[in-house]
Amino acid sequence: MQDYFTFSQTVKESINQNLASLLREHLTGSKKLELIADGDSHDIYQVGQLDSGLYVALRENRALKELMSVEESFIPVAMYVYEDYCLKAESKHKAGKIVPRFSIGGMFGKIPFLLTEDMSCGKKHTLYSEYGGYFFNIVKEYRVRDGVKEEVCCDFGLHGVSGIASEDMDKLLDGDYAVESFKYFHPKNRLEI
């Protein structure tokens, strides 16, 4: 069985022109993908199904999307936040948690994006969250598949800039952060559309 990163790279290679075209239309704002879920700070859009049967979703951090539209210096910040999501998914996968089976960092021109497995499988399964705690954040997530409720982990790592150490944030905003240090967003590993 392939490790998480290797499987993600295999899936990346199978993204077809039709899905890439849908992504470009969404990212340019000319045609929106269907919103299938949202989390504390992000929206999840249905992209489509691959020939392998896997379903693909686009995850967008709402605040970072807005910041990038105003100030290009936030582009590396978005890449950092999305990279963090990928690494957390990989770690949780290794720990035996149910997470999206792949994470793909991508770029459309200067716009970073994050693709993951659509955990609803094209809206065949229901996803829902339980909220709680002091800030009323998501505390548990579930998927109902064939009448069976299972705990899943999807809403992690996209909480924006609050989790970035100040020295890393300064480097990111100044353009001094080496993109080559990324794993999923490294230029040779990311999807370019």
pLDDT score at 114: 96
Task: Evaluate whether 58 touches 134 at the Cβ level (below 8 Å).
Answer: no
76 - beta bridge partners? none
Predicted local distance difference test score (pLDDT) of residue 45: 94
Instruction: Identify the pLDDT of residue 164.
Output: 63
The pLDDT of residue 7 is above 60: yes
CA 114 to chain centre: 4
* pLDDT at residue 185 in the model: 94
pLDDT confidence band for 165 (50 / 70 / 90): low
Number of domains composing the chain: 1
Predicted pLDDT at 42? 80
Residue 44 tokens, joined: 């999840």
Q: Residues of the chain with pLDDT > 70: what percent? A: 80
Residue-wise pLDDT for 102-140, tens only, equals 999 999 999 999 999 998 888 888 777 766 655 555 556
| The predicted structure's pLDDT at residue 169 | 66
Confidence check: pLDDT of 88 > 60: yes
- What's the pTM value of the predicted model, to 2 decimals? 0.86
pLDDT of the residue at 43: 86
**58-77 pLDDT tens trace:** 999 888 888 888 788 888 88
- The domain containing residue 33 runs over which residues? 4-192
